[in-house]
A = this chain, B = another copy of it.
Amino acid sequence: MTVNIALLGFGTVASGIPFLLKENGQKISSAACTDISISKVLVRDEAEKQALLAQGHDYNFVTDITAILTDPSVHIVVELMGRIEPAKTFISQALEAKKHVVTANKDLLAMHGSELLDIAAANQVALYYEAAVAGGIPILRTLASAYTSDKITKVLGVVNGTSNFMMTKMVDEGWTYDQALAEASRLGYAESDPTNDVDGIDAAYKMVILSQFAFGMTIKFDDVRHEGIRNITPADVKLAQKLGFVIKLVGEIVERESGIYAEVVPTFLPKTHQLATVNGVMNAVFVESIGIGEAMFYGPGAGQKPTAASVVADIIQLAMSVAEGYSAPPFNTFSRETIYAKKEDLLDKYYFAIETEDKSGQLLRLAELFHAENVSFEQVFQDKISDHVATIAIISHQMDLNQFDNLVAKISSLDGFTLRNTIKVI
């Protein structure tokens, strides 16, 4: 038999799919126990259709989703349009038409994933989205298969290629944030509005999805504390290097006794940590669990071919269930009530970079302030940055998130001091 798929959208990733289906046809057919064929492709309008046909693309292009929804020969719908609408409506309709759906739409899944998964379950079809997190790394399927036997305690991820490319330049070449952003833009890694990448928003979306697979809980996007890399200076980078760290934007999800917690924040990583050598646009997810222990999954985070390879891997799994006539298992079966950790269960060390007038007694004032919060210094560095201004860099001992928030608030309101940056220390 042949399993028919319909593509929604024919952009960069979508056009990589026919390449892989052809290039690896035999391997794919034996894995899927069936041939897979692209039977329809939804495009925006007649103009796009004519343009694609003129380019020599030989597909059955349609401009109305109904042509796909009402076609009983279409088994799997592959959404690659991106953004929330109309993707959300089309996916819902496809699921309601009892078609399996594959998508790489991370924003949509992070914001509306639960709702879509409910629709899939109600219609006894499946929604797969391996490519939504760390495009070329099969991290979701790995969490949902290899880790079903295990209990995960921590996930660390370098999952935004743009910001990691920038941080790599800032660490390896000593570039400023602005220099790194200019180069990322020049190379097409950064969009004209880079907010989502550099402020940790994109990585926070991914933490929402990872939390469902790794912990069976759904952290809401608004509950993922996120902070980006805009404030990181060459001075921060240099001090980190001196102490044996590199700085990266790291997403972290942990389960503590009281519940789970997720954040995306700039982080001092020891140079010997496996994540420290994840450079450029590459991604990696580091997993700690009671069974396997420490493991890391490294690969490209985006790009046409890696993303298309992940999408096709999902298609193959679903095609096999269609061909063999069993119901496709849900992409993720791990689900528990979502319980958030208490702030006092979240212990970390932090780096504080504080600017102040270069006069005696300033460090004492800070020391008193930290002491009042019951937090002690591990290391302190002072640097004169101009005639009258000094930077005081503090690496603290562990504190909980309440203490950290209190310290940040107090330092920020302290007369004569400017809190230039805080960075978590792993």
User: Cβ of A146: which chain B residues have Cβ within 8 Å of it?
Assistant: 130, 138, 141, 309-310, 313
B309–A136 CB distance below 8 A: no
A149–B316 CB distance below 8 A: yes
**Does A1 lie at the interface of the complex (its beta carbon under 8 Å from any beta carbon of B)?**
no
**Does A333 lie at the interface of the complex (its beta carbon under 8 Å from any beta carbon of B)?**
yes
**Does A250 lie at the interface of the complex (its beta carbon under 8 Å from any beta carbon of B)?**
no
Residues of chain A at interface, number, CB under 8 A: 61
Q: Which chain A residues (66-103) contact chain B, with CB distance < 8 Å?
A: none
A300–B292 CB distance below 8 A: yes
Q: Which chain A residues (215-254) contact chain B, with CB distance < 8 Å?
A: 216
Assembly CA distance A145 to B130 (angstroms): 11
Among A27-35, A154-162, A192-200, the stretch that binds chain B is A27-35
A299–B295 CB distance below 8 A: yes
Assembly CA distance A10 to B112 (angstroms): 46
**Does A382 lie at the interface of the complex (its beta carbon under 8 Å from any beta carbon of B)?**
no
A320–B329 CB distance below 8 A: yes
A316–B148 CB distance below 8 A: yes
B149–A290 CB distance below 8 A: no
In the complex, which of the residues B137, B294, B303 contacts A295, with contact meaning CB atoms closer than 8 Å?
A: B137
In the complex, which of the residues B295, B310, B312 contacts A136, with contact meaning CB atoms closer than 8 Å?
A: B295
B299–A294 CB distance below 8 A: yes
Interface 1/0 per residue, A314-329 and B, CB below 8 Å: 0111001000111101
**Does A293 lie at the interface of the complex (its beta carbon under 8 Å from any beta carbon of B)?**
yes
A312-B149 contact given A30-B333, A299-B294, CB 8 Å threshold: yes
A300-B293 contact given A31-B148, A142-B138, A151-B24, CB 8 Å threshold: yes
**Does A20 lie at the interface of the complex (its beta carbon under 8 Å from any beta carbon of B)?**
yes
**Does A121 lie at the interface of the complex (its beta carbon under 8 Å from any beta carbon of B)?**
no
Assembly CA distance A90 to B325 (angstroms): 32
Assembly CA distance A30 to B295 (angstroms): 24
A305-B277 contact given A28-B149, A141-B146, A146-B130, CB 8 Å threshold: no
Assembly CA distance A274 to B250 (angstroms): 18
User: Cβ of A329: which chain B residues have Cβ within 8 Å of it?
Assistant: 33, 320
Q: Which chain A residues (1-44) contact chain B, with CB distance < 8 Å?
A: 20, 23-24, 27-28, 30-33
**Does A291 lie at the interface of the complex (its beta carbon under 8 Å from any beta carbon of B)?**
yes
Assembly CA distance A291 to B300 (angstroms): 10
**Does A298 lie at the interface of the complex (its beta carbon under 8 Å from any beta carbon of B)?**
yes
User: Cβ of A147: which chain B residues have Cβ within 8 Å of it?
Assistant: 309, 313
A147 to chain B, nearest CB (A): 8
User: Cβ of A299: which chain B residues have Cβ within 8 Å of it?
Assistant: 292-296
Chain B residue nearest to A309 (CB atoms) is B291
User: Cβ of A306: which chain B residues have Cβ within 8 Å of it?
Assistant: 291-293
A212 to chain B, nearest CB (A): 13
**Does A272 lie at the interface of the complex (its beta carbon under 8 Å from any beta carbon of B)?**
yes
Q: Which chain A residues (97-114) contact chain B, with CB distance < 8 Å?
A: none
Chain B residue nearest to A305 (CB atoms) is B291
B298–A297 CB distance below 8 A: yes
User: Cβ of A138: which chain B residues have Cβ within 8 Å of it?
Assistant: 142, 145-146
Assembly CA distance A305 to B289 (angstroms): 10
List residues of chain A with CB under 8 Å of any chain B CB.
20, 23-24, 27-28, 30-33, 130, 136-138, 141-142, 144-151, 216, 272, 274, 277, 282, 289-300, 303, 305-306, 308-313, 315-317, 320, 324-327, 329, 333-335
A-B contacts, 6 of them at CB < 8 A, read A28-B149, A141-B142, A149-B309, A150-B313, A296-B298, A326-B326
